[in-house]
Chain A
Amino acid sequence: QDGSVTGIVTDSDGVPLPGASVVVKGTSTGTQTDFDGNFAINADSNATLIFSYVGFATQEIPVNAQSSINVSLMADAAALDEVVVLGYATQTRGDLTGAVSSVDISEATKAPIVNAAEALEGRVSGVSVVNNAQPGGAPTVRIRGFGTSNSNNPLYIIDGIQTDDPSILNSINPADIDQMNVLKDGAAAIYGARASNGVVIITTKGGGYYMDKPRVSLEMYTGFSRAQNLPDLLNPQQFGDVIWESLQNDGVPIEHPQFGNGPTPVVPSQLQGVPASVTVRPEGTKWLEELYRTAVTSNISATIQNGTESGKYLLSMGYLNRQGIQLGTGFKRGATRLNSEFKISDRITVGQHLNISFSNTKGDGTSRVQGAMIINPLIPVYDDDGEFAGTYLAGAQLGNSRNPVAQTLRSADDYRKSLRVFGDVYAQLQILDGLSFKTSIGGDIQAYNDRRFQPLDPENAESRASAQLDEEDFDRYEWVWNNTLNYNKSFGEHSINALVGIEALSFRRRGKDIRRTDFLFETPDFYLLSTGTGTPIVDDGYDEQSSLFSIFGTANYSYADKYLLTATVRRDKSSRFRGDNQSDIFPSFSAGWVVSNEDFFPQDALVSRLKLYGSWGQLGNQSLPSDNPTVNISELGETFANYSFDGGNSIRTGAFLSQVGNPDLRWETSESTNIGVEFGLFDNKLSLNAEYFDIVTKDLISRDNSLISTTAIDAEAPLVNLGSFKNTGMDLSIGYQNTTKGGFSYGIQANISHYKNEVTELISDFQIGWPDFRGGAVTRTAVGQPLSSFFGRVVEGIFATEAEVSAHADQGFENPADGIGRFKYTDVNGDGSINDDDRTFIGSPHPDFTYGVNFNFAYKGFDLSAFFAGSQGNDIYNYTKIFTDMPSFSNTQRSVRVLDSWRPDNLDATIPRLSFAVPNNETQPNSFFVEDGSFMRLKNLQIGYTLPDSIVNKLGLDTLRFYVQGSNLFTITGYDGIDPELGPRDNGNDNLTIGVDNQQYPLAAIYTLGLNLNF
C-alpha cells in the first residue's frame, strides 16, 4: 500500500542537509530534500529508503509503516560502516582486521597544501611525513619507520594507478580527494611485492547518483609565506673581531685586506682591493634576509558533480601558484579531472578517471641557504653601479661563497615542466547475484623537460669562462591492466566477500640530457641549444624498463558481525630479478573479534564498542635504484673513458663498467605482525585505537659498499641482500567529538607513534653511510644498532691547561700547549691515544615517538581548528655547523655561536679556540655536531565563519564560508639548525644516511585568507 513518507535529513549536529537524495530501494523513485532538509516521497510501507549525501555515510532505513522518518546522517570519516577503499576491493570500516588508517581529508585540506601527501602529516598514526619546503618538491612519507635501506617510498594507488613515485602527488588537486587510506600491515599483502613500505590508497570524488541538480563548489585562497627561524650570524664588527682573535691565536701577523692592521679590526666603508666600487653596509649584509622574500601563494579550484539514476560525474579544475620564499623560485600547477560512471544496464557499469596536470617549477632547484649562511657579510648584494657584488679575487680575502642572490636570480628563468596524464577506464559486470567481474586499464604518461642556464658571473673570484645551457627531457609511460572477479554474498549470519584477480604492469622511461657552452647572448629568448657555439655534450641518455605480472586473491568472511577473517595471497613476477628469484608468493591472514557485538557484552556500558584484531603477512619490496640490478653494465664515457692516443684532438671512444650486477639478487621480504584493539566509549563519541606491530625485513636490498670497498671500479657498489632488521612499535590514536546542547561542538584527535629499529643481521660487520661529507661518513649501520646511527669521536670537553692535555690520552699535539682550547676526546678503547679507533656510536636519528594533535571547535557559524605535530627524542647530526661554527673555509660568515669560543677567560665555552685552521680532527664526525632534534610545531591554525543560511540562500548559494589560516606559526625546539624537520638525503634513496642536516631549505610560515562556496 502506497503511502507518503515525510521527514527531515540532518547531519549529526542537527543541521539540515539540503539536496540530500532519498531513493526507494530497488526502484528509480527518488527525490531530494529542500533547503531546510525536508523531503516527501511515496513508498510502500514495507519499502526501504536510501538516504545519501556527498561526504556522508549512506543509510538505509525500512519504512515499517511510519509516515515520518527523520534521519541524521553521519559524516563519512566517523562512520563504522563507511566504505573503505582498499585497492581492488572495498570493506566497511567496522569489518577491518588490518592496520588501516584513514585521513580526515576535509580536516587535512584546511591547510593550503600543494601535495596530497602533506595531508598525511601528523594525522595518521604510524606515518611520518617530512615536507620538502622547496616549491614543487615531493614530501617524504615513511610508514612505520624505515623498512629498507633504499627507497622507502610507499606504494601509491590512485584510482587504480600504481606508482612509488611520490612526485605523482604533485599532479593531483587535493580538493579532488575523497578518501586517503593507508595500509600499514599485512593488509597490504594484496599488493605483494611492492607493499612492504606500506600502501597509500587515494580515491577521488566521483559525484553521486540521484542528485537533483549539479552541485558546484568553489575553493579559493590567497596568502603569503615567509621564511622562519633564520639563524643569527655575525655582524661586520663581530666578524672582524673573530678574524683578529683567530690570527692572534695562530700567532701570525694581524692584518687583513679589509680590516686593516690595527689593534682592532676596522670595518671598511668600501670593499678594499677589488676592481669595482662597492659600498659596505655598516650593519653588514643580512644575506638570508636578502635571499628570502615574502612570497605570494594563491589557489583556486572548482568542482562540479552531478548524477542521475544511471550516471554520475565529477569535473574539477584547479590552479595553484606558489612562489618560493627563495627569490626566483616557484611552483605553478593547473590540473583538471573528469571522473564519470554509467550504468549501461542493470548488470553493466562502466566508468573512468582522468587527471591531467601541468606543472612548472621555476629555478634550478638548488637551495642557496648554505651559500647565504657563509658568504662574507661585508659583501653587499650589488655594487655601486648596480651590478652583482661578489668575492672578486682571492687577494681581497672575501671568502669563497658565490653571491647567492645572484645565483638564484640568474636561474630564475630555469624551469622544470611536467605534463602528466593519468587515469583509467573500467567496466564491471554483474554475472550472478553476488558475483561480479571488473576489468580496468590504467595509464600514467608523463612528458618532462627542464632547462638550466648558467650565465657568466664575473664578480666571482673563480668566475665562469662561458655560459652553459643544460636541457633534459624524458617521456614516461606506465600501464596497468587488472581483471578481478568478486563474490559478495550473505547467508543468514554468514557473509563472504572474496576476490581473485590478475594484473600486469609495465613501465618505461626514455630521456636524455644535453649540455652546450659558449652562448653569445644571455637573454632567455636565446636559451636554446642551437644558439650555443661550443660542442654539444650528451650528458646522459637512458631507456629504463621494467614489468610486473601478478595473480592474487583475497577472501573475507564474517559471522554475525562478530567474527571476521581475512586471507590474502599474491604471487608476483618481476622483470628486475632473474631465474627462481623472479617470482614469489606473499600471503597474509588477519582476524577480528567484535566483542561488543557479543550477547554477553553489556549494552549500556561505558564501552559501546570493543574490537580486537590481529594480522600477519609477508610483503615484498622490489623498488630499487636500478631497473636491471642483476647484470653488469658498461658505459661509453665521453667524460670518463675517452682517450686521445696522440695527445692531439682525435679522441677515441672508451668504455668503463658502471654497474656491477648481482645475479643472485632476491626480493626484500617483510614479515609484518600487527595486533590491535579498538574502543568506542560514550556512544562512540570517544574512540581509541591501539596497535602493536613487529616488522622483520629480511634480505634487505642495499648497495654493499663493503663488497666493492674502495679498491674497486668506478661503478657503484652492487645491490645485494644485505641483512635483516626489525621495527617494533606502537601506534595509538584517540578521538573525541561532542556537541553540547547549546550547539557548541568540539573535538580532539590525537595520535602518537613509536617504533624501534634494530639491525639484526648484516653480511658485513657494519656498513657506512654516504662517505663524501667533509671528514667522511657520519653514519654507520651495524648489528644491534638502529639503522644509520651517528658514529664518531666523543667530545668530553675543551682542554683548559697544558697539564690537562698531558694527563689525557695522546691526541697527537706537537706539544701540550697546542691542545689548549681544543676538543678533548674520549679514549674509547682506552689505549692511551686518540685515533680513528676511538670512534663510537654517538646518537640515533630515530625518534622515541612522533605525534599529531588536532583540535576543532565550532559554535554557530564559527569554527576553529588547530593542529600540532612533533617528534621527540631523535638526534640530528648538524653537519651545517662544519661551516657555520668551524673555520672550514677562511673569511666566510659564522654563526654568533662562535662568540662563545674558548678563551682563557671563557672556560666553559661551547666552541673550541678560534683559529684559521681546523686542527685536531674537529670537523670530522664527533659528538659536538649531534643535537637533540625534538620539536613541536603548530602546523595549522584556522578560524572560519560560515554565513547563516538566511543570508546565503538569498544569494542563491548553499553554503559560504570564509577563513583565515596560518601554517607553521611556531616551533618549539632546542635544535640549533634552521629546521629540525629534516628532509632525506638523495631523495630518500639512501637510508644508511638519515638525520644529517645539510643545506636544509628553511621552513616557511604561510598565512592565507580563503573562502569555500557551494551552490
Chain B
Amino acid sequence: LADEALANETGVDLLLTGAYSALDGIRNNQGAPDWAVSGDNWWFDVISDDAHKGSTDGDQPDLFALEIFDWATANPYIFGKWNGLYAGVNRANAVISLINSSEEGDLTAKLAEARFLRGHFNFELQKIYGNPAYISDENYAATEFNQPNPGPIWEQIEADFQFAIDNLPASQDDDGRPDSWTAKAFLGKAHLFQADWAPALALLKDVIDNGPYALNTEFVDNFNAAGENGPESVFAIQFAADDGQSFNGNRGGTLNFPGGGPFNPETCCGFYQPTQDLANAYKTDGSGLPLLDTFNQSDIANDAGVDTNDTAYDADTKTYDPSLDPFVTEQGPLDPRLDYTVGRRKIDYNGFGAHPGKIWIRATFGDISGPYLPKKNVYQAGELGNNQGTGAWGEQRSGINYNIMRFADVLLMAAEAAVETNDLVLALDYVNRVRNRAKNMTYVQARGAEDEVIEGTPAADYQIEPYASFASQDFARKAVRFERRLELGMEGHRLFDLRRWGVALETINTYAENEARTIPNFGDKFRAYEPKHDLLPLPLNAIDLSGGILNQNDGF
C-alpha cells in the first residue's frame, strides 16, 4: 500500500488498528523474542520482589541475568522492549501525521485515540528507561528517528493525554478504545509518577466519582474470559485467541504456563513463578490486616525442595488426591487474594484441580524458581476453548485480556495521592473499597479426596478486614503501598511502584536475603541491586546505532 492509498479515512482506520496492535509489543523486524517485548510487562515482576523467572536457570539465560542483576547493555530483553515500544510510538505517529496532513472530514476523535496510544507508549518508555528519546509525528514524517534523550518526556506524555481528554468521547462503542475517562485516569497516573499529588488526586477522584467504572464483585473476573471488559477494566490489551495460529493472543506471555501442567496438550514453559516473599505478604493478623512490617520475618508453609508425593499423585493417570499428600499447607490466617495470585500446593489451581507440587513445576530444586505457580495470567478451567490460542510450536497464546489499568488500581493510586496530600479519610475509604471487595468475593474452595471442589469450605483460613482507620500519614502510606502489592501483585506494576517510591534498592536486597531461606541457591546467584538498576540501561544497539546521539543512563 502506497502512502496515497492510505490518505483517507479507511487508511486512518487501518493504521490506527495497527497502532492498537502494537500494544502487545509484537512487531515486524522484532529482533527479540515475543516474551521480551510482552505488553503485559510480566518480566518486570521478575526483576522485582514479586516473581522469579521460573523454569530452569539456564532457560532464557538473558532473563536469568536480569533477575540476578547481572545486566548487560546488550541484553535482548532490554533491546526488544525498547524497540517494541518505539514501534508503538511510531505507529501512533503514522496516524497523527496522516490526519494532520489530511483534509478529509473530522478525524479529531481518531487523532485523540492515536495521541492517547502515543502517550501510553511514551509513558512505558519513560517509566522503564527514564530518559527516552522523544519522537514526534514531525520527526516521523521526516524520517528523523535519531533524536537525543536529554531527560524525561513527561510534558509530551501529559500533552497527549490532555488532548485525548479534550477530544475523546465519554464512551466508545468498542470496549478496546479509550474514552475521555480512560485518558483522565492515565493523565492522573502520569502525575502520580511525578509526585504531582494534587493534580493526580483531582483527576483520579473525578474518574472515581464521575466515571463509568466500578469494582467487579469477583476479584478473579479481572483475570478470566468471562470478566473481560467488565466494569473494572479501564484500559486493556484486547487479546483474542483467533483460529489456528493465534496472532492476536498474548504472545508475550507464552512461556508463563505451568511446564507439564494440567492442560491438554501439555503447556509450556514454567516461567513467571511468584516468590516466597510475595506469598508471605498475604499473611494477615488475627484482625484480618496485613503484617506491614513483619510479613517476611517468617515464611508461610511451602514445599520448596519437596517432591510431589507418589502416593498422592498417580503419574500414569495424572490424578492427584490431596488428602493423601502429607504436605501441610499454611494454617495461619491469609488474605484470600493469595490464592487467586499464587498457585500453591494442595490448593485449587484455576479450577484444574489442586496443585500437586513439584510435578507441575518445570524448574529443578537446584534452580532459583521456587515452588509456586502464576495464576492471574493463566486460564480458568472451562475457558480453554475459545481462549486458548496457539502458536507454531504449540505454545499458549491466551485470548484473555490483560488490564493495563483497572479500577482497583485507580482507587489505590487515588488513595496514594490522598495520603500524600494528607487526606487520610479519603485514602482510607479508597483502600477499604478494595479490601472490602476482596473480603466479600468468593474464596477459593478446598479440594477433597477425589480432588473435587468442596463447596462451602475455603481452601485456607482466609481473614481480611478493612482498616478501621489510618493512625498517621506514615502508616497510611505504608498501608496503601502494601495494598497495591496485595491487589496488583503479578500484574506487571510492582517494579515501577518500588522505583517511584525510591525504595527499590532496599526492598529488593532485603527480599533477596529472605528469599534465600526458601531457595538455598538464590543468595549465591543473586548479585546485588545497585542504584544504577533504578533504570534499565539504554540498549547497546540503540546507543551504537545512534552514533553518539543517545546518552547511556548512569552506571552502565
Residues of A within 8 A of B (CB): 250-253, 255, 257, 393-395, 397, 400, 454, 462-466, 468, 515-518, 534-537, 631-649, 651-658, 660, 705-716, 718, 764-766, 768, 771-772, 774-777, 780, 814, 835-836, 887-891, 916-919, 921, 924
Asked if B274 is an interface residue, CB under 8 A from chain A, the answer is no
Q: Which residue of B lies closest to A639 (CB)?
A: B247
Q: Using A463-B394, A655-B14 as known contacts, list a sample of 11 further A-B pairs with CB atoms less than 8 Å apart, ordered by residue number in A.
A: A250-B524, A633-B2, A639-B26, A649-B399, A653-B14, A654-B14, A712-B87, A713-B94, A765-B547, A771-B544, A774-B76
Q: Which residues of A contact B474 (CB under 8 A)?
A: none
> How far is it, in angstroms, between the C-alpha of A649 and the C-alpha of B31 when the chains are bound?
28
Q: Which residue of B lies closest to A396 (CB)?
A: B364
| Neighbour of B527 across the interface among A255, A655, A774, A814, CB < 8 A | A814
Does the CB pair B244–A517 fall under 8 Å?
Answer: yes
Given A658-B28, A709-B542, A711-B86, CB of A517 within 8 Å of CB of B245:
yes
> How far is it, in angstroms, between the C-alpha of A636 and the C-alpha of B5 when the chains are bound?
12
Interface size class of B (residues with CB under 8 A): 35 or more
Query: In chain B, residues 224-282, which have Cβ atoms closer than 8 Å to a Cβ of chain A?
Result: 228-229, 236, 238-245, 247-248, 259-260, 265, 268-270
Does the CB pair B17–A466 fall under 8 Å?
Answer: no
Q: Which residue of A lies closest to B173 (CB)?
A: A645
Asked if B216 is an interface residue, CB under 8 A from chain A, the answer is no
Q: Which residues of A contact B56 (CB under 8 A)?
A: 394-395, 397, 890
Q: Which residues of A contact B248 (CB under 8 A)?
A: 642-644, 651
Identify which of B174-182, B286-294, B509-517 touches chain A: B174-182
> How far is it, in angstroms, between the C-alpha of A636 and the C-alpha of B10 when the chains are bound?
12
> How far is it, in angstroms, between the C-alpha of A253 and the C-alpha of B522 when the chains are bound?
12
> How far is it, in angstroms, between the C-alpha of A752 and the C-alpha of B21 when the chains are bound?
56
Given A646-B176, A710-B541, CB of A651 within 8 Å of CB of B240:
yes
A183 to chain B, nearest CB (A): 37
> How far is it, in angstroms, between the C-alpha of A716 and the C-alpha of B245 when the chains are bound?
25
Q: Which residue of A lies closest to B85 (CB)?
A: A711
> How far is it, in angstroms, between the C-alpha of A252 and the C-alpha of B523 when the chains are bound?
10
A168 to chain B, nearest CB (A): 29
Q: Which residues of B contact A889 (CB under 8 A)?
A: 58, 61
Does the CB pair A394–B55 fall under 8 Å?
Answer: yes
B411 to chain A, nearest CB (A): 23
Q: Which residues of A contact B135 (CB under 8 A)?
A: 711-712
Main secondary structure on A side of the interface with B: loop
| Neighbour of A642 across the interface among B17, B366, B528, CB < 8 A | B17
Given A765-B547, A835-B556, CB of A640 within 8 Å of CB of B26:
yes
Chain B 360-372 interface mask (CB, 8 Å, partner A; 1/0) = 0011101000000
Given A641-B21, A647-B176, A710-B83, CB of A463 within 8 Å of CB of B393:
yes
> How far is it, in angstroms, between the C-alpha of A716 and the C-alpha of B401 when the chains are bound?
30
| Neighbour of A656 across the interface among B15, B236, B552, CB < 8 A | B15
> How far is it, in angstroms, between the C-alpha of A26 and the C-alpha of B14 when the chains are bound?
74
Those 9 A-B pairs whose CB atoms lie nearest each other, nearest first: A465-B394, A890-B58, A654-B17, A534-B244, A535-B244, A654-B18, A644-B240, A645-B174, A645-B176
> How far is it, in angstroms, between the C-alpha of A518 and the C-alpha of B16 when the chains are bound?
32
Does the CB pair A635–B1 fall under 8 Å?
Answer: yes
Does the CB pair B18–A713 fall under 8 Å?
Answer: no
> How far is it, in angstroms, between the C-alpha of A683 and the C-alpha of B188 when the chains are bound?
93
Q: Which residue of B lies closest to A632 (CB)?
A: B3
**Which of A251, A400, A652, A919 neighbours the largest number of chain B CB atoms within 10 Å of its CB?**
A652
A574 to chain B, nearest CB (A): 19
Does the CB pair A466–B394 fall under 8 Å?
Answer: yes
Given A537-B244, A647-B238, A711-B145, CB of A917 within 8 Å of CB of B70:
yes
Does the CB pair B174–A711 fall under 8 Å?
Answer: no
> How far is it, in angstroms, between the C-alpha of A250 and the C-alpha of B525 when the chains are bound?
8
Q: Which residues of A contact B363 (CB under 8 A)?
A: 394-395
A407 to chain B, nearest CB (A): 13
Given A517-B244, A647-B229, A647-B238, CB of A642 within 8 Å of CB of B70:
no
A selection of 10 A-B contacts at a CB cut-off of 8 Å is A397-B364, A535-B244, A644-B238, A644-B242, A652-B17, A655-B11, A656-B94, A712-B145, A771-B541, A917-B64
Does the CB pair A640–B28 fall under 8 Å?
Answer: yes
Q: Which residues of B contact A712 (CB under 8 A)?
A: 86-87, 90, 135, 145
> How far is it, in angstroms, between the C-alpha of A462 and the C-alpha of B229 when the chains are bound?
33
Query: In chain B, residues 494-531, which have Cβ atoms closer than 8 Å to a Cβ of chain A?
Result: 520-521, 524-525, 527-528
Query: In chain B, residues 65-86, which have Cβ atoms closer than 8 Å to a Cβ of chain A?
Result: 65, 68, 70, 72-74, 76, 79, 82-83, 86
Does the CB pair A645–B177 fall under 8 Å?
Answer: yes
Q: Which residues of A contact B23 (CB under 8 A)?
A: 643
Asked if B440 is an interface residue, CB under 8 A from chain A, the answer is no
Q: Which residues of A contact B547 (CB under 8 A)?
A: 706, 764-766
**Which of A255, A657, A706 neighbours the largest number of chain B CB atoms within 10 Å of its CB?**
A657
Does the CB pair B58–A710 fall under 8 Å?
Answer: no
Does the CB pair B90–A655 fall under 8 Å?
Answer: no
Q: Which residues of B contact A637 (CB under 8 A)?
A: 18, 21, 28
| Neighbour of A534 across the interface among B146, B243, B548, CB < 8 A | B243
> How far is it, in angstroms, between the C-alpha of A652 and the C-alpha of B525 when the chains are bound?
46
| Neighbour of A537 across the interface among B19, B90, B245, B366, CB < 8 A | B245
| Neighbour of B544 across the interface among A516, A655, A777, CB < 8 A | A777
Does the CB pair B175–A646 fall under 8 Å?
Answer: yes
Q: Which residues of A contact B132 (CB under 8 A)?
A: 711
Q: Which residues of B contact A919 (CB under 8 A)?
A: 70
A752 to chain B, nearest CB (A): 37
Does the CB pair A645–B175 fall under 8 Å?
Answer: yes
B85 to chain A, nearest CB (A): 9
Does the CB pair B540–A776 fall under 8 Å?
Answer: yes
Q: Which residues of A contact B94 (CB under 8 A)?
A: 656-657, 713
Given A644-B176, A645-B175, A711-B135, CB of A836 within 8 Å of CB of B540:
yes
Does the CB pair A714–B27 fall under 8 Å?
Answer: yes
> How far is it, in angstroms, between the C-alpha of A638 and the C-alpha of B240 when the chains are bound?
13
| Neighbour of B74 across the interface among A463, A640, A645, A924, CB < 8 A | A924
Does the CB pair B393–A465 fall under 8 Å?
Answer: yes
Asked if B124 is an interface residue, CB under 8 A from chain A, the answer is no
> How far is it, in angstroms, between the C-alpha of A253 and the C-alpha of B70 when the chains are bound?
21
Given A253-B521, A713-B90, CB of A655 within 8 Å of CB of B61:
no
Q: Which residues of B contact A644 (CB under 8 A)?
A: 176, 238-240, 242, 248
> How far is it, in angstroms, between the C-alpha of A466 and the C-alpha of B74 when the chains are bound?
34
Q: Which residue of A lies closest to B11 (CB)?
A: A655
A782 to chain B, nearest CB (A): 10
Asked if B57 is an interface residue, CB under 8 A from chain A, the answer is yes
Q: Which residue of B lies closest to A655 (CB)?
A: B14
Q: Which residues of B contact A772 (CB under 8 A)?
A: 31
Given A253-B520, A710-B545, A889-B61, CB of A641 within 8 Å of CB of B90:
no
Q: Which residues of A contact B394 (CB under 8 A)?
A: 463-466
